[in-house]
Amino acid sequence: MENELSKEVIMEGLLYLVGEDGIKKGQLAEVLSISPEDTEVYLNNIQKRYEGDGFALELVNYGGLYKFVTKKAVYDYASRLFATAKASSLSQSALETLAIIAYKQPITRSEIEELRGVSSDMMIRKLQARNLIRDVGRSEAPGRPILYEVTEEFMDSFKLESLADLPEVNEYQEESEELFEE
């Protein structure tokens, strides 16, 4: 063996290779034959190291997949370098539908429609085509409607490590019970 690189440095190399696909903690542990605890430590070390100003990349964890991405400051220059088409943004109704699915998953189409007050068939198909949601089987309700949930792609698109990282929403609660008195 000519290399005497530490497992941590090799892990860094693997993270570079997997690129945008990212890699799960478990996979890294298996490939490097190290314990889950060590994997955790190494990942943290790499993450910390790259936080410094001397690095253009940062190690992120979106939906349990670790990957290197460029820091925001790189973007302006990258867009000058590459004449890439702007990544398609999401419409308000798409965001709203995604929010409902993410907070309430698994959820059926009719439940989504009840919450949005509009028919959502097309929207669901669009989101599915963009791989932001997927169907996860069927509900026991009459007609056995399809249940939907968000994908890893969704987690990646919104910088979420897990669903617990979803923005906190204000529960608009009533101070009194007025409503029930009439």
State the residues that interact with other proteins by CB under 8 A. Answer: 16-21, 58, 60, 67-72, 74-75, 78, 87, 89-90, 92-93, 95-96, 98-100, 102-103, 114-119, 156-160, 166-167, 169-172, 174, 178-180, 182
- Closer residue to other proteins in complex, CB, 26/75: 75
Given the complex with other proteins, which of 117 and 137 has the nearer CB atom?
Answer: 117
Instruction: Quote the least distance from Cβ 100 to other proteins, whole Å.
Output: 5
Instruction: Provide the minimum distance between the beta carbon of 20 and other proteins in the complex, in angstroms, as a whole number.
Output: 4
**Closer CB to other proteins, 71 or 138, in the complex:** 71
Closest by CA to 63, choosing from 169, 167, 150, 129, is 150
Nearest to 58 by CA among 180, 149, 94, 48: 48
Closest approach, Cβ 56 to other proteins, in A, equals 10
How far is residue 7 CA from its own chain's centroid? 27
Structure token digits, residue 176: 């009194």
Amino acid at 143: G
Give CA separation, 129 vs 46, 47, 54, 57, in Å: 34, 33, 39, 30
User: Minimum Å distance from CB 59 to other proteins?
Assistant: 11
Segments of 8-112 assigned E as strands: 23-24, 57-62, 65-70, 107-108
Nearer to other proteins, 6 or 70 (CB): 70
Q: How far is the CB of 168 from other proteins (least distance, A)?
A: 9
